[in-house]
């Protein structure tokens, strides 16, 4: 009878897990995130319809119309006729039209990204119920902006996610480490980082490296929870090799920070590459990616949450970095 009992137990566990996964994604679909495709309307304009179509943008896209004119195009001070001429010059420019055509092909179907974001924002709404859920507006802005927030909403410049090998980034002179970031698979993690920064960056707590490590770690801890289907390297926006190196060398990275007296330093020049995009983390082997501090912060926060009971909203509001480090009991060992 034992094999039969074991079989039934395994079958029951499988059934329960499958039911949980189905319910999980079914609930996530209830969020129904609204996505507006501004770039399509923008590149539909011509000399005959520019006045009519642009007049409808306020109705169809809300305040993004003002964001696009003032922040992205930097033409907010022009008269209507002057602005129309600028729009036509922009959309009829040979290089811009060619780049837009690439966007139109790659992002003809946005449903996969929309589903990923719906899951993420469903998780966000569950963990942060008092905070708003955005509308998503996609746009083409001439390679100036990737992900921006405005009026509790998010806009995504799709031309900044055409892929590592896109010729446009080479023409723009982007270094390889930045071209790597411009991949479609990184849109969701970018969006969630920008969204969390919009509401919680006020809780960094200080300019010292420790405060910044903890804040970056809190952001990554949330992203890890909100994008459960994304690989760890894609959440951190590392290559698989970089992710492996960071995991295997966590102790060495921490020892470097301590040995170089960086932990409480406020001199960002000394630790900038640990928390910002860079070809590599200065002072470490070439395999160490820029933003390596995100992982150290993430591990610190993970251990803090293992040792302290609190929800994510409480976590994000903590500002005493030294007390946080002490209570996390973070001390990586080989």
- 210-269 pLDDT, tens digit per residue, is 999 999 999 999 999 999 999 999 999 999 999 999 999 999 999 999 999 999 999 999
Predicted pLDDT of residue 180: 97
| Residue linked to tokens 């803090």 | 304
Tally of CB atoms within 10 A around 12: 10
This prediction's pTM: 0.89
Note the pLDDT tens digit of each residue in 152-172.
Answer: 999 999 999 999 999 999 999
Secondary element (H or E) of residue 85: helix 80-92
Predicted pLDDT of residue 10: 47
More confident residue, 242 or 31: 242
Contact 121, 134 (CB under 8 A): yes
Predicted pLDDT of residue 334: 67
pLDDT score of 140 more than 80: yes
Average pLDDT, the chain: 92
Sequence-distant (6+) residues with CB within 8 A of 143 are 99, 157, 159, 160, 168, 172
| Residue linked to tokens 């996609």 | 138
Predicted pLDDT of residue 260: 97
pLDDT score of 24 more than 70: no
Average pLDDT estimate for 181-190: 98
Predicted pLDDT of residue 29: 53
Q: Which of 24-28, 102-106, 207-211, 287-291 has the lowest mean pLDDT?
A: 24-28
CA distances from 270 to 46, 58, 255 (A): 51, 46, 16
Average pLDDT estimate for 12-18: 48
Phi, psi of 82 (to 5 degrees): -65, -40
79: pLDDT confidence band, cut at 50, 70 and 90?
confident
Quick check: helix, strand or coil at residue 19? helix
Q: Which of 10-14, 84-88, 98-102, 215-219 has the lowest mean pLDDT?
A: 10-14
More confident residue, 286 or 7: 286
Distance of alpha carbon 185 from alpha carbon 34, whole angstroms: 20
Q: Which of 6-15, 59-68, 71-80, 283-292 has the lowest mean pLDDT?
A: 6-15
Closest CA to 159 of 72, 239, 226, 231: 72
| Residue linked to tokens 């790659």 | 106
Write the burial class of residue 212 (CB in 10 Å: 0-12 exposed, 13-18 middle, 19+ buried). buried
Distance of alpha carbon 223 from alpha carbon 155, whole angstroms: 18
Quick check: helix, strand or coil at residue 153? strand
> Which residues lie across from 154 on neighbouring strands?
136, 149
80: pLDDT confidence band, cut at 50, 70 and 90?
confident
Order across the sheet with 153-157: list the strands.
35-37, 136-139, 153-157, 147-150
pLDDT score of 47 more than 80: yes
Distance of alpha carbon 86 from alpha carbon 109, whole angstroms: 29
């Amino acid at each position: 009878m034992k094999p039969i009992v074991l079989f039934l137990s395994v079958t029951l566990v499988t059934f329960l897990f499958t039911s949980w996964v189905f319910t999980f994604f079914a609930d996530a679909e209830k969020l129904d995130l609204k996505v507006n495709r501004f770039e399509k309307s923008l590149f539909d304009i011509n000399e005959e319809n520019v006045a009519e179509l642009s007049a409808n943008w306020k109705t169809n896209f809300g305040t993004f119309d003002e964001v696009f004119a003032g922040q992205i195009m930097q033409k907010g001070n022009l008269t209507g006729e002057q602005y129309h001429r600028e729009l036509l010059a922009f959309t009829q420019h040979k290089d811009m039209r060619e780049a837009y055509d690439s966007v139109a092909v790659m992002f003809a179907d946005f449903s996969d990204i929309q589903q990923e974001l719906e899951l993420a924002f469903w998780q966000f709404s569950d963990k942060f119920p008092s905070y708003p859920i955005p509308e998503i507006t996609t746009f083409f802005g001439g390679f100036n902006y990737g992900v921006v927030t405005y009026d509790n909403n998010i806009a995504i410049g799709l031309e900044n996610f055409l892929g590592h090998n896109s010729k446009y980034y080479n023409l723009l002179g982007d270094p390889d480490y930045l071209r790597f970031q411009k991949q479609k698979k990184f849109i969701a993690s970018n969006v969630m980082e920008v969204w969390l920064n919009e509401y919680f960056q006020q809780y960094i707590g200080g300019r010292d490296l420790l405060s910044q490590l903890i804040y970056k770690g809190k952001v990554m801890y949330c992203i890890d929870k909100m994008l459960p289907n994304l690989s760890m390297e894609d959440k951190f926006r590392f290559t698989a090799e970089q992710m492996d190196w960071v995991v295997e060398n966590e102790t060495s990275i921490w020892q470097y920070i301590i040995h170089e007296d960086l932990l409480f330093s406020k001199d960002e020049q000394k630790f900038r590459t640990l928390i910002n995009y860079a070809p590599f983390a200065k002072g470490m082997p070439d395999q160490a990616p820029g933003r390596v501090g995100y992982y150290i912060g993430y591990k610190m926060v993970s251990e803090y949450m293992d040792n302290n009971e609190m929800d994510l909203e409480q976590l994000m509001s903590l500002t005493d970095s030294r007390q946080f480090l002490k209570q996390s009991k973070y001390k990586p060992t080989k």
